[in-house]
């Protein structure tokens, strides 16, 4: 990939439209901030204004429940900005990971054209016209199903209305604008993860220069196993969305979070499973490199071992204090340490620290919920027990 065209992921179409309308500036920082302001202004501000107007006009106190809806704050004031800012955090690092296949000489020169085609197809698939249109259809189809099937009493009270359609103006805005915006951002990221996995799969099928004795014990591909931790901001956003809904049930319905520990744990398991899987596509080439390394490096170690034993273990060989200065010992030790790297090579690109980082990022938003029900004294005593 050339330095001028290094991005694996194409710029989203809606960002391009906003740029042409001069609603965002070309600088990344200004662009990101303006996109966040626009998104929050579209998703959260109108329902807030509509609920406030409804209360001012009708004095219906249920409209004010919007301002104590933790899920609304979590989704549209926190998760939406994080999902947008993640594009400027995660995508450049994924691009750097993709470039490293070339700079590290892992890609065979004969496969350069195939690699460039994989990059080009990934850009086309990232967020082109058809993926964007398909995601829009999926989002609004889901909204239609929700509108038809959900019972009015299952909705938050600020959604409800005594009119024939059972939804207030704020409820309609939430259904037709706010939630589709959030779902669209989530679907876009799920699509990008799938496209990233496809890119890695394409690379795994190429002729790769894998070094079985590489000190990273992954034939030189350990940098790929670190890529899941790049999605930690996205994991945090998913945790925020789930924790917001969970917080409403705890604060307004009186649910004890200690009796529903499966919610945060289940969310963390799903998130880790989604983001940890793409590097696993290299299992086959890694297994082949390990098998080849075991035979080749094992054979080399055996030949050197035979020569070493013939020279030094022969009864006629002379051994004295000067023998320790012979290079045979150090060279044999060095070779065996290299061969040991081959035998300890991992045929699966799985980094436990990445999984832990993703799980922690997902669980952190649930922390304040637990703090509301666990006394500070009890929490402090438990922490002291862990430390002491």
CB 224 within 8 A of CB 349: yes
Residues 126 and 229 in one domain: no
Lowest mean pLDDT among 74-78, 122-126, 323-327, 332-336: 323-327
- Among residues 209, 242, 275, which one ends one of the domains? 209
pLDDT at residue number 92? 85
- Among residues 209, 230, 263, which one ends one of the domains? 209
Reported confidence tier of residue 324, pLDDT bands at 50, 70, 90 = low
314 is a domain residue: no
Reported confidence tier of residue 141, pLDDT bands at 50, 70, 90 = very high
Residues 238 and 145 in one domain: no
Residue 67 and residue 252: Cα distance in Å, rounded? 13
7 is a domain residue: yes
Can you say whether residue 155 is alpha, beta or left, with left for phi > 0 and alpha for psi between -120 and 50 degrees?
A: beta
Residue 86 and residue 231: Cα distance in Å, rounded? 8
13 is a domain residue: yes
Residues 140 and 24 in one domain: yes
Residue 238 and residue 133: Cα distance in Å, rounded? 23
Residues 177 and 235 in one domain: no
- Better pLDDT: 317 or 100: 100
Residue 195 and residue 176: Cα distance in Å, rounded? 28
Lowest mean pLDDT among 11-25, 247-261, 290-304: 11-25
Residues 188 and 271 in one domain: no
Residues 191 and 273 in one domain: no
Reported confidence tier of residue 63, pLDDT bands at 50, 70, 90 = confident
Q: What is the pTM of this model?
A: 0.84
Is the pLDDT confidence value at 65 over 80? Answer: yes
pLDDT, tens digit, for every residue of 146-195?
888 888 777 888 888 776 567 889 989 999 999 999 999 999 999 999 99
Sign of dihedral through CA atoms 376, 377, 381, 384?
Answer: positive
305 is a domain residue: no
174 is a domain residue: yes
pLDDT, tens digit, for every residue of 98-118?
989 988 899 988 888 999 999
319 is a domain residue: no
Q: How close are the terminal C-alpha atoms of the chain, in Å?
A: 52
The average confidence (pLDDT) of the chain is 84
Question: For residue 124, what are its two tokens?
Answer: 């086309």
- Among residues 189, 209, 229, which one ends one of the domains? 209
- The Cα diameter of the chain in Å comes to 108
Is the pLDDT confidence value at 380 over 90? Answer: no
Residues 189 and 247 in one domain: no
pLDDT at residue number 353? 93
Residues 49 and 192 in one domain: yes
Residues 190 and 232 in one domain: no
Is the pLDDT confidence value at 223 over 80? Answer: yes
Instruction: State how many domains the chain has.
Output: 2
73 is a domain residue: yes
The residue among 239, 196, 240, 14 whose CA lies nearest residue 90 is 196
Residues 196 and 225 in one domain: no
Is the pLDDT confidence value at 388 over 70? Answer: no
137 is a domain residue: yes
pLDDT at residue number 89? 85
Q: Which domain holds residue 237?
A: 220-295+338-388
pLDDT, tens digit, for every residue of 197-215?
999 999 999 999 999 988 9
Contacts 24+ apart (CB under 8 A), 105-111: 105/209, 106/208, 106/209, 106/210, 106/220, 106/221, 107/203, 107/206, 107/208, 107/209, 108/206, 108/207, 108/208, 108/209, 110/207, 111/206, 111/207
Is the pLDDT confidence value at 270 over 90? Answer: yes
Which ranges of the chain does DSSP label H, i.e. alpha helix? 13-20, 28-43, 45-58, 70-72, 80-103, 112-126, 129-149, 169-173, 179-204, 222-225, 232-253, 262-276, 283-312, 327-343, 352-363, 367-371, 376-387
pLDDT at residue number 16? 60
Residues 57 and 184 in one domain: yes
Residue 327 and residue 355: Cα distance in Å, rounded? 44
Residues 99 and 234 in one domain: no
CB 357 within 8 A of CB 232: yes
């Amino acid at each position: 990939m050339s330095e001028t065209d290094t991005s694996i992921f194409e710029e989203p179409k809606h960002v391009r439209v906003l740029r042409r309308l001069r609603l965002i500036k070309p600088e990344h920082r200004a662009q990101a901030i303006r996109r966040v302001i626009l998104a929050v202004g579209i998703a959260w501000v109108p329902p807030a204004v509509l609920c406030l107007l409804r209360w001012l006009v009708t004095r219906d106190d249920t409209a004010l429940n919007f301002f104590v809806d933790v899920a609304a704050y979590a989704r549209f004031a926190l998760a939406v900005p994080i999902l947008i800012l993640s594009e400027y955090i995660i995508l450049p690092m994924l691009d750097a990971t993709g470039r490293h296949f070339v700079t590290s000489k892992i890609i065979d020169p004969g496969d350069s054209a195939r690699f460039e085609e994989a990059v080009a197809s990934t850009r086309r698939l990232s967020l082109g016209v058809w993926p964007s249109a398909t995601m829009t259809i999926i989002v609004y189809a889901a909204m239609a199903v929700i509108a038809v099937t959900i019972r009015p009493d299952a909705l938050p009270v600020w959604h409800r209305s005594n009119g024939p359609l059972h939804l207030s103006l704020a409820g309609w805005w939430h259904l037709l604008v706010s939630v589709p915006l959030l779902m669209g951002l989530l679907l876009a990221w799920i699509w990008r993860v799938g496209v990233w996995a496809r890119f890695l799969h394409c690379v795994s099928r190429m002729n790769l220069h894998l070094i079985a004795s590489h000190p990273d014990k992954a034939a030189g591909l350990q940098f790929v196993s670190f890529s899941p931790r790049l999605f930690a901001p996205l994991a945090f956003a998913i945790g925020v969305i789930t924790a917001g809904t969970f917080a409403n049930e705890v604060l307004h319905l009186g649910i004890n979070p200690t009796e529903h520990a499966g919610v945060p744990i289940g969310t963390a398991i799903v998130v880790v499973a989604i983001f940890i899987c793409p590097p696993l596509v290299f299992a086959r080439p890694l297994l082949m490199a390990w098998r080849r390394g075991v035979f080749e490096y094992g054979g080399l170690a055996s030949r050197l071992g035979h020569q070493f034993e013939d020279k030094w273990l022969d009864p006629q060989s002379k051994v004295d204090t000067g023998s320790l200065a012979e290079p045979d010992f150090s060279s044999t030790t060095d070779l065996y340490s290299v061969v040991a790297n081959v035998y300890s090579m991992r045929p699966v690109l799985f980094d436990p620290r990445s999984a832990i980082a993703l799980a922690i990022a997902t669980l952190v938003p649930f922390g304040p919920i637990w703090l509301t029900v666990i006394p500070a004294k009890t929490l402090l005593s438990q922490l002291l027990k862990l430390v002491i």
